[in-house]
Amino acid sequence: MNSKMKQRHSVDILFLLVIFLVFLFSAVSLLVLAINFYRSTSMRSEENDSARVAVAYVREVIHQNDVADEISICEFDGVQALAARQEGDYVLYLYYNDGELRELYTKEGAQVTAEDGQRIMELQAFDIKEITPGVFAVECEDLLGNREQIIISRKSSRGGADDETT
């Protein structure tokens, strides 16, 4: 009788222990699941942002300075650059140097180097080319290895924009 009671008592404890372990396992699983979801969501958000910011910046520079054919691709201090000529013989260079996208606003012909430019953001690769007259293709790769490519057209060459997007 006594041994039966003892056996029943140990089964009770074992049952409680099993339930407690199941509870613990579920709690840890949920925590791991939450961590993975959070990681993948923040990773995706970062992927969305970094390369896109660089190409969006180039797009803005081209559209802002899209006046009477003043945008061109040139070589500046040995690096390929996008040059946006502005009033008063000033020029804005946008280029990739030492793993960074840089910008330099200077007077044309001034003694400046690519090192003098203001750092915009770090990138793994950046390339800009004029695929057809007035159409630029910008390709960049961010530090996570995401590639982004955009096509931007220069509208001023046709004497102003006549397009309307809705």
Please state the closest distance from residue 41 (CB atom) to other proteins, in A: 5
Under rule CB under 8 A, residue 158 binds other proteins = yes
Cα 55 to its chain centre, rounded Å, is 8
Under rule CB under 8 A, residue 162 binds other proteins = yes
Its sign, for the CA torsion 115, 121, 122, 123, is: negative
Binding mask 49-88 for other proteins (x = CB under 8 A): ---x--x---------------------------------
Kindly tell me the burial class for residue 59, based on how many C-beta atoms sit within 10 Å of its own C-beta (0-12, 13-18, 19 or more): middle
- Judged by CB under 8 A, the stretch of 27-35, 64-72, 87-95, 101-109 that binds other proteins is 27-35
- Out of 44, 107, 119, 129, which residue is the one contacting other proteins (CB under 8 A)? 44
Under rule CB under 8 A, residue 19 binds other proteins = yes
- Out of 3, 10, 16, 105, which residue is the one contacting other proteins (CB under 8 A)? 16
Q: How many C-beta neighbours within 10 Å does residue 135 have?
A: 13
Whose CA is closest to 150, among 66, 78, 56, 75? 56
* Strand partners of residue 139: 127, 149
Using the 8-state DSSP alphabet, how is residue 116 labeled? Answer: G
Return the number of the residue (125 or 151) whose C-beta is nearest other proteins: 151
- Is there a contact between 121 and 53 (Cβ–Cβ < 8 Å)? yes
Where on the chain is the footprint of other proteins (CB under 8 A)?
5, 9, 12-13, 15-16, 19-20, 22-23, 26-27, 30, 33-34, 37, 40-41, 44-45, 47-48, 52, 55, 131-132, 134-135, 148-155, 157-158, 161-166
